[in-house]
Structure 1
Amino acid sequence: MKELRSPASKLNLFLLLSINLFVIILFLLSAAALLCVLLIHWGWLPDNFYEQPSVPLLIFAYVISLMIGAAILLMINSVLIKPMRHMIAAMNELAKGNFATRIRLNKGSHSLEINEFAKSYNKAAEELGSVELLRKDFINNFSHEFKTPIISIKGFAELLREGGVSEEEREEYLSIMIAESDRLAQLANSILELSKLESKRVASEKEIFSVSEQIRRAILMAESKWSAKALNFDLELEETEYLGSARLLNQVWVNILDNAIKFSPDGSLLSVRVNGGPDAVTVTVRDRGPGMDEATLARIFDQFYQGDTSHASEGSGLGMTLVRKILTLHEAEIGIDSYPGEGTSVTVTLPRE
């Protein structure tokens, strides 16, 4: 693999270190020789100094110095230069989009900085690989979620154009087309909202509002849904205010309540609690639905994931993804307790500033 080289110099680091070390040794030898000449000139050393037995010892010391220098260069090449070449090659592969590349240092002694860089690089490459996997998964799911209603609308439109359908069938087909159009619009709005949340363009939308009043309005907005299932409510809404984005947090309550209503059996009870403390506001919504197993619970916040694999219930699989991103912007926490056959309890904790 071709290695990156600095355009300012064609010399690699090993050669530069070799030249520098050679220059240092040459300077030291020259300085020692000049000092001897000066000492002889000043009379501090005899004229026959070079015939003394100590001179071979000095020459031997110089040779040993050269050998030590060479050994140091070889060590630097093994400990520093080679790992740097591996890192450059790995960075080039990462730049090409090969997120599976890892820096695997050979056995031996490496500096702390080299080891830390290798660990940091491997971690970054792993994270980028995960992001790429999520991106591909998002595109596949997004395409599927958009394609399904479009095909449905197209099919019913062709049936209506061909004619020969009864008035009852015509109304049914139109209702389905309207519902699928609403589904597409909701999906597009959810994607747009996710994009805004990713760029954090909503972080400044803060105001003081009543959490309990917002919960009441969210329940009223869903009246048609819970009335159709004859659900009952057990409400304990403590009057409390919170500083945050009222628009975004309203989406949190709407999504959580919508899920609770959707999976609640007819005639069952929904419990909603709002507690305002000095440090945080806590909102809990509990249903008596079928609950979730561990596998479903582990993926509840994944984009486009729906616990109802049959897709019998409405939804795009983006609701809880939006909920988590909105709560993350508020530095809030969400906890979900759910067991098969025992219902689901969702608790949101909003910290006060």
Structure 2
Amino acid sequence: MLKTLSSKFALTTLLLMLGSLLLGFFFTNTYYHQVIKAPNDQKNVEIAEAMVAYIADAQVDNLDDYFTMLGETGYQLYIVKEGGAPVFYGGAFRDTTLEATTVADVLAGNIYHGMRDFPRETFVMGFFANELVNTIGIPFTYEDEQYALFMRPNIKLLFSEVHRILGALMLAMFILSLIGVIVLAQTIISPIKKLTRATRAIAHENYEAPLEIERVDEIGQLANSFQRMTDQLQENDAMRKTFVSNVSHDFQSPLLNIQGYATLLAQPNLTDEERAEYGEIIEIETKRLSNLTKQLLVLTTLDSSTRKPKRELFDLTAQLKETVRKYRWQMEEHHIEFSYTMPEVHYKGEAGLLQNIWDNIIANAIKYSEDGAQITLTVEETATAIIVTVEDTGIGMDKEALAHVFDRFYRADASRTKHGTGLGLPIVKQVVEKHDGTVVISSEQGVGTTVKVTLPKL
């Protein structure tokens, strides 16, 4: 009994497809040589002429950098300098054979139409032939020296033309296969239409549209996967809306610091040193605020598997002391007793990323501590790691909140009396893990919270 689409299609269309495949290749190849080849050659001549014209117009300083850039944007290039060694750029050619007379002819000032003159073969289209002879050759002059540029688009740039060619091939196959598969196609079209309607509903944020597809073949599996995707999208959408409604907290912290120190600056009995110090902090926080939009992309950056921290040796103790100094006014405002033990420690990591850790941990300790609480910061250095511990006697967390503390957008305070985005600790966790470290949080409601960050030495 046929239950899978592959077996149904195989039995019904195999013979028809084999016959139509031969006809389709012949038709498509003919279409390319009769209709596409000459315009394609001319189009690439214009592209090559634009490349060499830019060299003179833009006064290119470094020819190698220019052609490297063109190669990276999707072109295969072969550059020959009169009397010099040839150089390739971009994707590799399958066949690099090219007559010396052809190169000499281009160096003499003629255009080489390799695409137009590429020989016709029954089952091989010149359009796809990744050979050096299947290029456009253009002469140009740079710093009074004669060059020849041979180019063709990399296959990655040929999608639009490929679709036309494959469309012609599929049309020939479809005409011969249509009668044999029309009944089977109807059984496939119906669930696909349902999926299309469900997709449109999701585009309008309607996640409740019924799918009603009960099958055991690949379409049924697709429907099940689609339903799971819909459920996940609904959950993500809810979390995203929560994030948007609370994102102002990311701007509130520097604004509060600016406001607090601006208030202190207004006091008439300040010394010049105090005024300079407060002004410096306001300047720091203003810069931080101007860059805060970029910091919202930190998680996206950290999510990249290829993103590695820039390992540079810096004064970790100084960074921690500066962070504490930024938040000192908040501690004084709430009568929070702060103490620390910080030996001189240097660490090899990305200081900008690590700053996110200390900002989030210390800000959270203050935010979730009542007046008169205590916060202790301890830095330990072992032979293999640096351990930073922040302990507070604040309100703490229950077990449920502690279990979700690193979940993005999660907020234990459903009433939102404590402003936040639910992104701080997830950022802490990812920054620590990017540095191959660990972060452990222990907490007891009504007693306090301890955050322990371990950063291994290199």
TM class by shorter chain equals 0.5 to 0.7
Deviation track 1:9-31 (CA, whole Å, cap 9, x = no partner) reads 9799xxxxxxxxxxxxxxxxxxx
- Report the counterpart of residue 253 of structure 1 in structure 2: 358
One-letter amino acid matched to 1:143: K
One-letter amino acid matched to 2:364: N
- Report the counterpart of residue 142 of structure 1 in structure 2: 240
- Does residue 348 (structure 1) correspond to residue 453 (structure 2)? The answer is yes
- Report the counterpart of residue 341 of structure 2 in structure 1: 236
Note the C-alpha offset of 1:339: 0.8
> Is the Cα–Cα contact under 8 Å of residues 299 and 305 in structure 1 kept in the other structure?
yes
Gap runs ≥5 in structure 2 = 15-215, 249-288
- Report the counterpart of residue 291 of structure 1 in structure 2: 396
Alignment partners' CA distance in 1, 2:8 and 2:290: 52
Alignment partners' CA distance in 1, 2:291 and 2:333: 22
1:304 to 365, 384, 409: 409
- Does residue 278 (structure 1) correspond to residue 383 (structure 2)? The answer is yes
Deviation track 1:233-283 (CA, whole Å, cap 9, x = no partner) reads 110012222221111111011100000010111122110001111111101
- Report the counterpart of residue 318 of structure 2 in structure 1: 213
Alignment partners' CA distance in 1, 2:425 and 2:217: 37
2:5 to 3, 6, 10: 3
Note the C-alpha offset of 1:137: 2.4
> Is the Cα–Cα contact under 8 Å of residues 239 and 276 in structure 1 kept in the other structure?
no
> Is the Cα–Cα contact under 8 Å of residues 375 and 392 in structure 2 kept in the other structure?
yes
> Counterparts of 1:116-155 in structure 2 under 5 Å?
135-147=233-245
- Report the counterpart of residue 429 of structure 2 in structure 1: 324
> Is the Cα–Cα contact under 8 Å of residues 212 and 239 in structure 1 kept in the other structure?
yes
- Report the counterpart of residue 284 of structure 2 in structure 1: none
- Report the counterpart of residue 48 of structure 1 in structure 2: none
One-letter amino acid matched to 1:138: N
Go from structure 1 to structure 2 and tell me whether the alpha carbon gap of 1:148 and 1:208 turns closer, same or farther (over 3 Å shift): closer
Alignment partners' CA distance in 1, 2:358 and 2:455: 13
Number of aligned positions between the proteins: 216
One-letter amino acid matched to 1:352: K
Q: Where has structure 1 moved over 3 Å in runs of 4 or more?
A: 5-12, 89-97, 131-136, 147-150, 184-191
Q: Secondary structure of the residue that 2:5 maps to in structure 1?
A: coil
Is the deviation greater in 334-343 or in 137-146?
A: 137-146
Deviation track 1:316-340 (CA, whole Å, cap 9, x = no partner) reads 1110111111112112111111111
> Is the Cα–Cα contact under 8 Å of residues 138 and 303 in structure 1 kept in the other structure?
no
Q: What is the CA RMSD across the aligned residues, in angstroms?
A: 3.3
- Report the counterpart of residue 28 of structure 1 in structure 2: none
- Report the counterpart of residue 335 of structure 1 in structure 2: 440
> Is the Cα–Cα contact under 8 Å of residues 303 and 321 in structure 1 kept in the other structure?
yes
- Report the counterpart of residue 166 of structure 1 in structure 2: none
- Report the counterpart of residue 98 of structure 1 in structure 2: 225
Note the C-alpha offset of 1:7: 8.7
One-letter amino acid matched to 1:227: E
Alignment partners' CA distance in 1, 2:448 and 2:230: 35
Q: TM-score, normalised by structure 1?
A: 0.54
Alignment partners' CA distance in 1, 2:293 and 2:240: 10
Alignment partners' CA distance in 2, 1:324 and 1:248: 11
Go from structure 1 to structure 2 and tell me whether the alpha carbon gap of 1:202 and 1:226 turns closer, same or farther (over 3 Å shift): farther
Alignment partners' CA distance in 2, 1:148 and 1:269: 27
Go from structure 1 to structure 2 and tell me whether the alpha carbon gap of 1:99 and 1:352 turns closer, same or farther (over 3 Å shift): farther
Alignment partners' CA distance in 1, 2:312 and 2:246: 39
- Report the counterpart of residue 64 of structure 1 in structure 2: none
Alignment partners' CA distance in 1, 2:447 and 2:389: 16
Q: Secondary structure of the residue that 1:341 maps to in structure 2?
A: coil
Alignment partners' CA distance in 2, 1:186 and 1:285: 26
- Report the counterpart of residue 367 of structure 2 in structure 1: 262
Deviation track 1:115-138 (CA, whole Å, cap 9, x = no partner) reads xxxxxxxxxxxxxx5x87555423
> Is the Cα–Cα contact under 8 Å of residues 335 and 347 in structure 1 kept in the other structure?
yes
> Is the Cα–Cα contact under 8 Å of residues 292 and 339 in structure 1 kept in the other structure?
yes
Note the C-alpha offset of 1:145: 3.5
Note the C-alpha offset of 1:204: 4.1
Q: Secondary structure of the residue that 1:222 maps to in structure 2?
A: helix
Note the C-alpha offset of 1:213: 1.6
One-letter amino acid matched to 2:239: N
Note the C-alpha offset of 1:227: 2.3
- Report the counterpart of residue 131 of structure 2 in structure 1: none
Q: Larger radius of gyration, structure 1 or 2?
A: 1
Alignment partners' CA distance in 1, 2:310 and 2:331: 31
Alignment partners' CA distance in 2, 1:329 and 1:149: 24
> Is the Cα–Cα contact under 8 Å of residues 273 and 285 in structure 1 kept in the other structure?
yes
Note the C-alpha offset of 1:188: 5.5
- Report the counterpart of residue 40 of structure 1 in structure 2: none
Q: TM-score, normalised by structure 2?
A: 0.42
Q: Secondary structure of the residue that 2:405 maps to in structure 1?
A: coil
Deviation track 1:212-240 (CA, whole Å, cap 9, x = no partner) reads 22111111122232222122211001222
> Is the Cα–Cα contact under 8 Å of residues 190 and 318 in structure 1 kept in the other structure?
no
> Is the Cα–Cα contact under 8 Å of residues 301 and 324 in structure 1 kept in the other structure?
yes
The sequence identity of aligned pairs, in percent, is 29
Note the C-alpha offset of 1:300: 0.7
Go from structure 1 to structure 2 and tell me whether the alpha carbon gap of 1:294 and 1:217 turns closer, same or farther (over 3 Å shift): same
Gap runs ≥5 in structure 1 = 13-88, 101-128, 151-183
